[in-house]
Amino acid sequence: MRAALGAAIERLRKVAPDVAWVAPANLHLTLKFLGQVDERRLEEIAAGLRGAAAGLTAFDAVMAGLGAFPSASRPRVVWAGVAGGAPGLTELAGRVERACAALGFPPETRPFSPHITLGRVRAPRRDARLADLLATAARDEFGRSRVEGLALMESELSPRGARYTERASARLG
């Protein structure tokens, strides 16, 4: 799946050089963004994630289609969508949201939309070539992944991109 998404990024890069593209090794699906977190809270967050994962069984997610937020005609974020497994991801994200809210993290105001961010547009503007390429890839399938758990990730931003470190994990079931 990463290789297929990496190939899609390379096709998009040719028509949209003003996008900060994600390195294929860093591609991920975010259930909840927490922001800056005190190291001393990691265990309570990990316990909340284990609780959120309890009782759910593993499922498959199929990554398919490209698009953009807020729209393909005026993109800010370019993404790959979820064609199969979206209900399971939505359920898991809802559980994570509730667990984090119980720990005092502010709730997300937008509805959850399962996707993998491929790139962020540096200077948002209309881009007909990018919109056309996204439209032609709206049904492309990039692969299937077994969702067996979730991870609490730390991100460190640098001029060379983000570096991710797993801080905790929880298995479904």
Residue 127's domain is classified under what CATH number? Answer: 3.90.1140.10
76 is catalytic: no
- ∠ CA 99-102-108 to the nearest 5 degrees? 70
Q: Please report the DSSP string for 25-45 in residue order.
A: GG----S----S--GGGHHHH
Considering the candidates 2, 11, 28, 74, report the single residue annotated as catalytic.
28
Q: How many residues does the chain have?
A: 173
Considering the candidates 85, 112, 115, 170, report the single residue annotated as catalytic.
115
Write out the H or E segment, with its range, that includes residue 65.
Answer: strand 59-70
Q: Which domain holds residue 39?
A: 2-171
Question: Domain tally for the chain?
Answer: 1
28 is catalytic: yes
AA identity, residue 167: R
pLDDT (average), residues 84-112: 96
Structural contact between residues 19 and 78, judged by C-beta atoms closer than 8 angstroms: yes
pTM, to two decimals? 0.92
* Range scoring the smallest mean pLDDT among 66-75, 147-156, 160-169: 160-169
Of 137, 150, 120, 3, the C-alpha closest to 64 is 137
Q: What is the pLDDT of residues 3-32, one digit of tens each?
A: 999 999 999 999 998 899 999 999 999 999
